[in-house]
Amino acid sequence: MSQSTRALGGRRVLTVGLHVADVLGRYVDAIPAGQGLALLDEIRLTVAGTAAATAVDLARLGVPVATVGAVGDDALGVFLRSTMAAEGVDVDALAVRSAHPTSATMLPIRRDGSRPALHVIGSNAAIRADDLAAVDLDEVAVLHLGGTCLLPGIDGAPSVELLRRARAAGVVTTMDFIPTGAPADRDAVLPCLPFVDYLFPSEEDALSFAGATTLDEAISFYLDAGVTTVVITRGAAGVSISTRERRDMRLAAYAVDVVDTTGCGDAFSAGFIWGLVDGADVVEAAERGLACGSLVATGLGSDAGLHSVTDVARLRAEGVRGAV
């Protein structure tokens, strides 16, 4: 039995939201014209998405985890369900919706680790309010809602109700959102925030959604909106943690050789949640998140670099920290 299982007392983490199959190729310096050919070093198919990738990372960290979402009745849907199950994720509530293709993204990875995205929303648009209403929270310690703004079937009232129920049941709530810039984003996100214990936006998303020009302005926006703890991931600059008692506590990321930044935010979320279920304070939880996110950046795809708690311990013991 893992340390996390003991700390949970038999309860588990539940991730809800985006499930995506990523097709990644590296390195893509340019797209050939016409029907030209470019030779790559590597192409991979991986489990991705703010619910799916976080769930896989949690399973690898020894945390009992289940997931809620939707995939299509196609080869990519079979891949997502079977791969997640093989990793140890409970996929019983991962619905199969035959009217929609599985959500997927093509990611041409540049040499600096950045990547544009070509995306099909597909089955993530088919998650329904009744999927959330059916969620049993009795054995859940932490609920992670991932992908708000890209979940039209549950954005807004259904997500708010799930978070409200979780809070009432004594479940710790965490959330990550992906703003699109559409007016509907505010209706999707803002009503959720009073029921969120830990919010995990990237710095870019935190600033754009808040309409802020500085980190301090963004922090004030989310705290005033009702979030208990704002945890803003800042890429190579690390993380900023803010509560009403203490604002903008900064921790440095690890200096690693970056291959691909896909999934680093999801790995951070998993590491942070792992800390929460072990009873860690917010700084220790964030330290685990930083180590997990940095590890994933060292390979191609959301599942790269992070395979077990041993990887995290090794990086924390031997890794070099960057600047905040």
Token representation of residue 120: 């099909």
pLDDT for 9 equals 53
Question: Strand runs (DSSP E) across the chain, as ranges?
Answer: 12-17, 20-26, 42-48, 65-72, 94-97, 104-109, 118-120, 140-148, 172-177, 198-199, 229-233, 239-242, 249-251
Q: Tell me, what DSSP letter sits at residue 321?
A: B
pLDDT for 159 equals 98
- d(C-alpha 70, C-alpha 124), whole Å: 6
pLDDT for 8 equals 54
pLDDT for 249 equals 97
Which has more confidence, 113 or 107? 107
What fold characterizes domain 10-31+38-318? UDP-N-acetylmuramoyl-L-alanine:D-glutamate ligase (3.40.1190)
**pLDDT surpasses 90 at 167:** yes
Percentage of residues of the chain with pLDDT beyond 70: 97
Model confidence over 29-41: pLDDT tens digits?
Answer: 998 999 999 999 9
Model confidence over 232-249: pLDDT tens digits?
Answer: 999 889 999 999 999 999
pLDDT for 269 equals 97
pLDDT for 5 equals 42
**pLDDT surpasses 50 at 147:** yes
| Domain layout of the chain by residue ranges | 10-31+38-318
